[in-house]
Amino acid sequence: MHVLTLRINGDCLKVAAPAHWTLLEVLRYELGLTGSKQGCDKGDCGACTVLVDGKPRLSCLVLGSLAEGYEITTIEGLMPAHLCAGGEGADPVQDAFDRCGALQCGFCQPGMMLSARALLNENPSPTRSEINQALSGNLCRCTGYTQILQAVESCVADAVGEDR
């Protein structure tokens, strides 16, 4: 067992885990952060996506030990980060997914929303093609993607509206 020091959702946490555990396993089975989903477990589906220093990464393919020193954001940290930044309620991406009904079973949703959040942080007004590209590493087997893309576009429209 190794004692890892991880910065997760703004907290500095010490957690004991074997060297061969992935970040996803540390999150789910040591820290109880089960929002990051264990789907294919081999980097195909994107359900385990978390943000590492703001960039979407597949936590099933990151060794826990190699996540030390980075700022990790899971789906559990999205709303608190929004509130800390002076926002109200859920993160606008979560709100838009809710409004647009951008889910059915919900399994892909945490990864999908984190990829969308990372895109919007980097590019507040992406085109449909840029949204497609940014979410192309996250698979959804229920919705057909239409409402998911609408939700992200709705965030963009809201943000543009706020600027006016």
Partner 1 sequence: MLRLPAFELAQPETIEAACALFAEHGERAMIVAGGTDLLPNLKHELYDIDVVIALAGIPALDDIEMQGHGLSIGAMTPLARVAASPDVRSHAPALAQAASLVAGPQHRTMGTLGGNVMLDTRCQWINQSHFWRQALGYCLKKDGSVCHVVEGGKKCVAAASNDSAPALMSLGAKLVFTTTDAERSLPIEDLWVSDGIYNKSSKPGEILTRIVVPLSDSRHRGAYGKLRDRGSIDFPLLGCAVRLDLDDEGIISDCDLVMVALQARPTRVKKIAESLNGVRIGTPEFEAAVEEVARRAHKQCKPLDNIPGDMDYRRRMIPVYVRRTLLAAAEGGGPVHHI
Which residues of this chain interact with partner 1, rule CB under 8 A?
A: 18-22, 25, 38, 41-44, 46, 49, 55-58, 60-63, 65-66, 115, 133-134, 136-137, 139
Q: Which two tokens stand for residue 42?
A: 């081999």
Q: Which is nearer to partner 1, 95 or 109 (CB)?
A: 109
Q: Which is nearer to partner 1, 60 or 156 (CB)?
A: 60
Q: Which is nearer to partner 1, 61 or 84 (CB)?
A: 61
CA distances from 151 to 12, 97, 107, 117, 155 (A): 32, 5, 17, 12, 6
Q: Least distance in Å: CB of 21 to partner 1?
A: 7
Q: Which is nearer to partner 1, 56 or 77 (CB)?
A: 56
Q: Least distance in Å: CB of 33 to partner 1?
A: 17
Contact (CB, 8 A) for 9 and 76? yes
Q: Least distance in Å: CB of 116 to partner 1?
A: 12
3-state secondary structure of 45: coil
Q: Least distance in Å: CB of 14 to partner 1?
A: 18
The per-residue DSSP string of 90-158 comes to: S-HHHHHHHHHT--SS-SSHHHHHHHHHHHHHH-SS--HHHHHHHTTTS--SSS-SHHHHHHHHHHHHH
